[in-house]
Amino acid sequence: MTRQQAAGAKIVTVTLNPAIDQTVRVDDFAANQVNRAQAMQFDAGGKGVNVASFLVDYGLGVTATGFLGDANAQIFEVLFAVKGIGDRFVHLPGYTRTNVKIVDETQQQTTDINMRGLAPTKLALQELQETIADLAQTHDWFVLSGNLPPGVPETIYADLIAQIKAQGRQVALDASQAALQAGLLAGPTLAKPNIHELEQILGDTLTTETAVIAAARQLLDMGIELVVVSRGEQGALLVTETEVVTAVPPQIPVKSTVGAGDAMVAGLIAGRIAQLPLPDLARLATAFSLEAVSRVGAHLPDLQALRERMSQVLVR
């Protein structure tokens, strides 16, 4: 399948706890001192919102849903309108949380200060489930990503995965803690834990690549088709029943690590839709992630720049 053919596929991203990302650039940031900022910007964020933004930049059709606060929804609505992202968010009274990202380019560090978010009512949760059921009639892939807002059951992702699979659609899961553990048991099509999350799930330290592969294969036994374990600068391991691929990125200047994992998820979805062989899928997903860390905000360059990034990724 070509990229042009894949563009006909439709994707839904689900963000239960979105955020406005306030990114402040502070070189040589030091705690407990006065710091002088070089720049600041605000972006509509949250993991699923970021995934949607990357995917539409790649030319795919995306609808975003989840929960948004009424009081400051405009920054999200502007992003959706500018990028052509379908908006099916369920609105809640109050303000969507603002997360502060302190980016220190000199030390190549990012400090996150994340707020809790709005608590949806049972009625709002029911409306979201009905929205997802409606979208599953016309969309092929669903991406469930991010942490949970207050008051939401830890089984929410598992419940949504079961609902989406029952309607014959494919689903990717990128979550953490108990929500990730419960969601994995529901057997999503694709799961992307990072190495620390995988260690938490298994209750063991994974010190070798062989151990990581064995751990990923335990997740495959839950009915998952593809497990991708992200390991930061060490790259990612992609594991299916029949193949294992390691993708190692080149070292590049890092502007911000915010959204790097979301970019990888977007690249994985784009590659799966295009039915890429696993090595090419690994290159594409890693190229998405490299582009994310080279800029502030969830945006991709043109296709030629992505191809150049792909050529820099070592796959074995």
Instruction: Report long-range pairs for 40-43 (Cβ below 8 Å, ≥24 apart).
Output: 41/296, 41/297, 42/75, 43/75, 43/79, 43/296, 43/297, 43/298
3-state secondary structure of 97: coil
Distance separating alpha carbons of residues 267 and 57, to the nearest angstrom: 11
**Dihedrals phi, psi of 221, to nearest 5 degrees:** -65, -15
Helices (H), ranges, 167-259: 177-185, 195-202, 209-220
DSSP codes, 82-100: HHT-EE-PEEESS---EEE
**Dihedrals phi, psi of 40, to nearest 5 degrees:** -150, 145
Known catalytic membership, residue 262: yes
Distance separating alpha carbons of residues 260 and 290, to the nearest angstrom: 7
- Tokens 């495959």 -> residue: 220
Which residue of the set 43, 57, 104, 262 is catalytic? 262
CA distances (Å), 66 to each of 94, 120, 128, 282, in order? Answer: 15, 10, 7, 28
Residues recognised as catalytic: 262
